[in-house]
Amino acid sequence: MDHPGHDVTGMSLTDEELMLAAARGDLSAFGQLVSRHQTSAWNVAYRFLGNAADAEDVAQEAFLRVLDAAPRYRATAKFRTFLYRIVTRLCIDLSRRRVSRLADVESLLDHRAGPLESAVDDERAGQVRKALMALPDKQRMAVVLRYFENQGHREIAAALGTTVKGAERLLSRARILLEPLLAGLRDGE
């Protein structure tokens, strides 16, 4: 008996194998991809946009685009990189279309923290969110992918459609801009 996400030997399929199966019309394979990556797609969008509803919209639209692109998909890069590239484009497009706002800000920090830790972290999270929102779009996305999603320079470059050196420059410029904005956090203020 075949199980979604497994080959005939019972081994788990890679994301790339699932995407190729989805390209052949296997919707259970696509569902497996969504299950594996919906949280990280939402997290990237949320950290970039700062709004839960917008992040949900972007994550949903990203997976619709993944499904639409499935017949043209070639496993030349990790699926996650392919997905992040779509999420990145959607976030930047949405950011450019809307009026700048900082509504519905929630903690950027670990949601598993207890009530005391959460109360202490709320102010810091607000400062981090405000500092991130001050960055230009591509720098902000580079920071989100690097520091919140633990992506390397190569993956960031692929997601942003730039070179590895370009990704390094984006992160370097972002650090320079963030330094004065976040200096108080390091000092324990």
15, 79 Cβ separation under 8 angstroms = yes
Per-residue confidence (pLDDT) for residue 188, from 0 to 100? 52
User: In terms of residue numbers, what domain contains 150?
Assistant: 15-186
Ordered per-residue pLDDT tens for the chain, 189 residues: 444 555 544 568 999 999 999 999 999 999 999 999 999 999 999 999 988 999 999 999 999 999 999 999 888 878 999 999 999 999 988 887 754 333 333 333 344 445 555 555 667 777 788 888 888 999 999 998 998 888 899 999 999 999 999 999 999 999 888 888 887 765 554
Cα separation, 174 vs 130, in Å, equals 13
Domain presence at residue 161: yes
Give the C-alpha distances (Å, rounded to integers) separating 69 from 72, 73, 141, 143. 5, 6, 23, 27
Domain presence at residue 95: yes
Cα 167–171–175 angle (5° rounding)?
Answer: 170
CATH number, residue 86: 1.10.1740.10
20, 73 Cβ separation under 8 angstroms = yes
Name the residue among 158, 157, 183, 181 with its Cα closest to residue 170.
Answer: 157
Domain presence at residue 123: yes
Per-residue confidence (pLDDT) for residue 123, from 0 to 100? 72
Return the number of other C-beta atoms located less than 10 Å from residue 98's C-beta: 11
| Token pair belonging to 84 | 């992040």
Q: Residue 16: which region, alpha, beta or left (left: phi > 0; alpha: psi -120 to 50)?
A: alpha
Per-residue confidence (pLDDT) for residue 114, from 0 to 100? 53
Domain presence at residue 7: no
Name the residue among 167, 177, 179 with its Cα closest to residue 142.
Answer: 167
How many independent structural domains does the chain possess? 1
Residue 149 is given by DSSP the state S
Whole-prediction pTM = 0.67
Per-residue confidence (pLDDT) for residue 108, from 0 to 100? 36
Per-residue confidence (pLDDT) for residue 185, from 0 to 100? 67
Per-residue confidence (pLDDT) for residue 2, from 0 to 100? 47
Cα separation, 36 vs 53, in Å, equals 20
Domain presence at residue 6: no
Domain presence at residue 3: no
Domain presence at residue 9: no
Per-residue confidence (pLDDT) for residue 55, from 0 to 100? 94
Tell me if residue 169 falls in helix, strand or coil: helix
Domain presence at residue 8: no
